[in-house]
Amino acid sequence: MSAAQSQTLVSKLEALQCHFTWDLDISTSLLNHRRDNLEDIGTNDGNPWLGHIYNLRGFIQYKLGSNKEAQKFFNKATEAFSRIRSADEGPWLVVNYGNLAWLHHHLGDQAESEANLSKIDTLIKKYPSPSQEELHPETYAEKAYALMTVSGDKTLVVDYFQRAIEMQPGIREWNTSHALALMYASKHSRTGLEDDILEKMRIAQEQDPENLYLAAHYLDQRAQRGERIEDEARGSDTAQSFFSKNSIKVLEKIRDRGRDRMCGDIREFLANLKEP
C-alpha cells in the first residue's frame, strides 16, 4: 500500500463512528475496573445491550494491549447482534464494523480493514438515518451507552439517547437508559430530582418491569422524597432476570445508608428477592 493509499485509509477510519473515534477518555488506571464492571453485567442472551457490551469490552481489551482478546469480543458482538435482532445485518452493525476496521488497521491487515469499511458503506446506504443531518439512531444509542458505561459526559449521554428516541421511538431499553441517564445527570443537583424526571422513570419502569436496576433507583428516589415504598418492597417474580445482581447491589447501598424510615422497606424488598 502506497503512502497516499495509507493516508486515505486513515482518513476514512478517522471519519467513522465507533469506540476508536469516540472520546471515551478511559484512563489506564480505570481500564481494569471498567472491564470488571462489564464482566459483572453478565452475558445473558436476554440482555438487549449484549452486542454493545461486547463492543465495549473489545475496545477495553485493545486499550489493555490484548488485540487477540479485542478481536474475540468484537466478533462476539457481531454474533450477539445477529441473535438478538434475528437478522444477519442492520444499522446496529455500523459501530461494530468500525471497531473491526480500526483493529485490523492496527494489526497491519489493511485489506481486512478496507473490507470492513466497505461493509459500513453498504449498511449506511441500505439503512440511512431518518434525518440526513443526524447519525443513525442505532449509532446514537450505542454511543450513549458507551459513554454512560465509562462515566462519560452525562449531558451528552442524555442528548444522544434523546436523539435516538426521537428518531426511533418505542425501544424499551433506550427509554430505560434515557431515564437513568437523566437521573445520573441530576444526581448532584441542589434542587434534587425534578418531577418530570421522576415521572420518566415511572413510565420507563412500567414499560420495563423486569429491569430491577431501574426499579432500585426509582425506589431510592421516591424514598429520598419521604415516600413509603412498602408496596414495592414486597418482592418480585422477576428476580431471575440478568439485572438482579446489579439491582441487589444498589438496594443494599440504599439500605446501608441507615435512614430509619426507608431501611425497613428496603430490607423487606431485599429479603423477598431471590438471587439467581
pLDDT value at residue 69: 96
d(CA 151, CA 38): 13
User: Average pLDDT of 218-245?
Assistant: 63
User: Average pLDDT of 218-223?
Assistant: 82
pLDDT value at residue 262: 45
Quick one: how many helices (H) and strands (E) in the chain?
13, 0
Residue entry with cell 418505542: 170
pLDDT value at residue 252: 62
Give which of 95, 110, 103 is closest to 72, Cα–Cα.
Answer: 103
* Ranges in the chain annotated CATH 1.25.40.10: 3-127, 137-208
pLDDT value at residue 133: 92
Q: At 41, is the pLDDT very low, low, confident or very high (cuts 50, 70, 90)? A: low
First to last CA, the chain: 53
pLDDT value at residue 6: 75
pLDDT value at residue 238: 46
Give which of 177, 168, 12 is closest to 91, Cα–Cα.
Answer: 168
Percent of the chain at pLDDT exceeding 90 = 55
Q: At 260, is the pLDDT very low, low, confident or very high (cuts 50, 70, 90)? A: very low
- Whether 264 has a pLDDT exceeding 70, the answer reads no
| DSSP string for residues in 192-214 | -S-HHHHHHHHHHHHH-TT-HHH
Identify the top-confidence range among 16-25, 44-53, 183-192: 16-25
pLDDT value at residue 246: 52
| pLDDT tens per residue, range 42-88 | 566 678 999 999 999 999 999 999 999 999 999 999 999 999 999 99
Asked if CATH classification 1.25.40.10 holds for the domain at 3-127, the reply, yes or no, is: yes
Domain 137-208 architecture: Alpha Horseshoe (1.25)
pLDDT value at residue 89: 95
Q: At 5, is the pLDDT very low, low, confident or very high (cuts 50, 70, 90)? A: confident
> Which of 51-60, 133-142, 153-162, 181-190 has the weakest average pLDDT?
181-190
- Whether 40 has a pLDDT exceeding 50, the answer reads yes
- Whether 186 has a pLDDT exceeding 50, the answer reads yes
pTM greater than the 0.85 cutoff = no
Identify the top-confidence range among 15-19, 213-217, 253-257: 15-19
- Whether 267 has a pLDDT exceeding 90, the answer reads no
CA dist 67 to 78, 105, 108, 122, Å?
17, 11, 12, 26
